[in-house]
Amino acid sequence: MAFGAAAVLVAVMVVVLLIALRREPALCRATAPSGPDAERASARMVTKASAISAGLGRRGEWGEAITDAEVNAWLAHDLPRVAASLLPDWVGAPTVRFLARRVALSATVGAGPVAGRAWAILSVALPRDNEIVIEVESAGLGAFPLPAEPILEAIATRAVAAGLVADVRRADARTTLHVVLPGGPPGARDARLEYHLEGLRIDDGELVLSGSTRSAPR
């Protein structure tokens, strides 16, 4: 009897743990379009990203509004086909949700019955041209909270690998990540040009980026 009761208790605890690992805040729950709608939304994402990239390399103003539906369509539809190496094998089904001045990220980590849902809600600001400041409001693996600093360190490592300047700063009980864009258009033939990211606005469901490319000071 005692052994049977213990086995049932252990089974219940395992089930509760597995359920807890899969929990994520409502703010992080995002869905992607499906079928032809997904292909169209993903194509819009690619078109807008290409427009920004082209704008960086020529004089003038540039900017685009990107919806989280478009981002999630690209993540679900194109990422596994054309850029699967961007994510480790143990990370899958990533989603993004744009909130007021914040970004909610979520992804499945692990595999099989022990897979969980990792999530983070980040506040994002642009205090000056080309400098992005990120702070973790909350993060977790399912129902279990995660510390902010390792998350920011991981983002910083990725940013540096992409050629950006990034450092984690600690002040007044706050930990923030500062990412500085290089200003030089990638692959630009004219080294006298520099781009300035001047606007970064995040509303419910939409990210708006704006800036200009102009002659670099001599």
The residue ranking higher by pLDDT, 165 or 24, is 165
pLDDT at 16: 44
Number of independent structural domains in the chain: 1
Give 57: exposed, middle or buried? Use CB within 10 Å, 0-12, 13-18, 19+: middle
HEC sequence for the chain? CHHHHHHHHHHHHHHHHHHHHHCCCHHHCCCCCCCHHHHHHHHHHHHHHHHHHHHHCCCEEEEEEEEHHHHHHHHHHCHHHHCHHHCCCCEEEEEEEEECCEEEEEEEECCHHHCEEEEEEEEEEEEECCEEEEEEEEEEECCEECCHHHHHHHHHHHHHHCCCEEEEEEECCEEEEEEECCCCCCCCCCCCEEEEEEEEEEECCEEEEEEEEEECCC
Domain of residue 78, residue span: 2-215
Residues 50-92 pLDDT 10s: 999 999 888 999 999 999 999 999 998 888 887 777 777 778 8
CB-count exposure of residue 119 (10 Å: 0-12, 13-18, 19+): buried
103 neighbors 89 (Cβ within 8 angstroms): no
Residue 20: is its pLDDT beyond 80?
no
- The C-alpha angle with vertex 151 and arms to 42 and 75, in degrees rounded to 5, equals 10
**Confidence grade of residue 176 (pLDDT, cut at 50, 70, 90):** very high
Cβ–Cβ under 8 Å, residues 174 and 135: yes
pTM: 0.83
Q: Cα dist. 16→5, 33, 77, 139 in Å?
A: 16, 31, 32, 20
